[in-house]
Amino acid sequence: MDKELDRYGFEMDLVRKGNTPFYYYNLDVLHATLNEINRQIEGWPFTVHYALKANGNPRIISEIANYGLGADLVSGGEVKAALEAGFKAQEMTFSGVGKTDWEIRLALAHEIGCFNVESIPELEVIDQLAGEMDTTANIAIRVNPDIDAHTHKYITTGTSENKFGIGIEALDQVVKHAIDLPDIDLRGLHFHIGSQITQMQPYIMLCETINRLQDHYENQGIRFKMINVGGGLGIDYQHPDDHPLPDLEQYFNTFKQHLNIRPNQRIHFELGRAIVGQCGSLITRVVYVKENRDKKFIIVDAGMTDLIRPALYEAYHEIQNLTSRQMDHMETYDVVGPVCESSDAFAHDRMLPTSRRGDLLAIRSAGAYGESMASTYNMRSLPSVVFFPSDKH
């Protein structure tokens, strides 16, 4: 017998049985997204790496590994998790401005595909450690292309005021240095201009910058085996039911059309949010409805410890009441959590059906940077997790 799904596609049995607050992962949405990625890149020299930082849940990452994607990692812990999930070491990239010695050694021991190197001191340490281990490190130099991705200031990464990468003015020197180092194999260049990017213009500018740089280096006889364009493709936080998948066709077409791909060259992508963002919702129970003189508050049992994006970036997440008995009667609420911080709010002045104690709310598009950024502040427990369909293993 088919299980009861609510109007937004939630299996209500699972929702009611869950121990709130919990993440509800819709694996059908995840699989549809992964199938679409593989469809879009078929026949192109493209490798998509999943950025584990977006969601490191062991079940989610092993589902993704099964689709043949590579992994984009930023810590030794992520290297270990990716290996356990079944990602191939050769298809791993390791980014981050502060890689420590043990993390570099771990990645070298597993002969990962590529280190994305962010500074000269880091380059020299990787060379030294590779030498000590009698191996060679494959690297790409992370270039800061000074492109404004027009996204939130905390998640833009490609402008010159940013800590990431090496500025174009210093690149010649770093490229030459990397070529000269004995235990470094310089394979290419890496870029990442920011996150939650929904307009293609910044990506077109990125392609043009890459084309110019490649011409410049080819004139000096330097050819790159690979280019890594990073991640950042955004999702529709406003309308998750209308757009459960990101616009992957438009995204990959931008690179197919604007990037001058050299013969035998591979183009690497590092997508996080676009892969897992829409498959996850945070389910939370209304604890109290409280009215002040000017405002009505829905107080829920989830807080910024479970999903920090609204508190940290003023991020918008769609909120749906899955159990309201008065779906047609709307009121304006602030939806807030129990944590002792004023910023612990999921929404301000949001129109929602009249809500009562005990109602279950879904905070949508929480698959990326939700569970992975959860904390135990206020000695709260970490959120639990439920998978739909529940019988798939």
Site residues, ligand LLP (CB under 6 A): 51, 54, 72, 95, 155, 157, 192, 195-196, 230-233, 270-274, 309, 313, 368-369
Residues 6 or more apart whose Cβ sits within 8 Å of residue 388? 10, 11, 14, 24, 25, 26, 27, 28
**Least Å from the CB of residue 154 to ligand LLP:** 7
Given the complex with ligand LLP, which of 282 and 368 has the nearer CB atom? 368
Given the complex with ligand LLP, which of 161 and 291 has the nearer CB atom? 161
**Least Å from the CB of residue 220 to ligand LLP:** 27
Given the complex with ligand LLP, which of 14 and 48 has the nearer CB atom? 48
SS3 state at 113? coil
* Distances in whole angstroms, Cα of residue 201 to Cα of each of 14, 40, 197: 41, 20, 9
The kind and range of the H/E element at 46 are: strand 46-51
Given the complex with ligand LLP, which of 217 and 316 has the nearer CB atom? 316
Given the complex with ligand LLP, which of 51 and 336 has the nearer CB atom? 51
**Least Å from the CB of residue 188 to ligand LLP:** 14
What are the φ and ψ backbone dihedral angles of 207, each rounded to 5 degrees? -60, -45
Given the complex with ligand LLP, which of 274 and 282 has the nearer CB atom? 274
**Least Å from the CB of residue 221 to ligand LLP:** 29
Given the complex with ligand LLP, which of 228 and 321 has the nearer CB atom? 228
**Least Å from the CB of residue 323 to ligand LLP:** 28
Closest CA to 216 of 255, 250, 169: 169
DSSP strand pairing (70-73 vs 46-51): parallel
* Distances in whole angstroms, Cα of residue 9 to Cα of each of 18, 24, 247, 388: 16, 12, 21, 10
What are the φ and ψ backbone dihedral angles of 361, each rounded to 5 degrees? -110, 145
Biggest alpha carbon distance in the chain? 72
DSSP strand pairing (384-388 vs 319-321): unpaired
Say how far apart CA 323 and CA 353 lie, in whole Å.
Answer: 10
**Least Å from the CB of residue 157 to ligand LLP:** 6
Given the complex with ligand LLP, which of 272 and 337 has the nearer CB atom? 272
Helix, strand, coil: what percent of the chain each, to 5?
A: 35, 25, 40
Contact of 365 with 235, CB cutoff 8 Å: yes
Specify the DSSP class assigned to residue 91. G
**Least Å from the CB of residue 118 to ligand LLP:** 9
**Least Å from the CB of residue 299 to ligand LLP:** 24
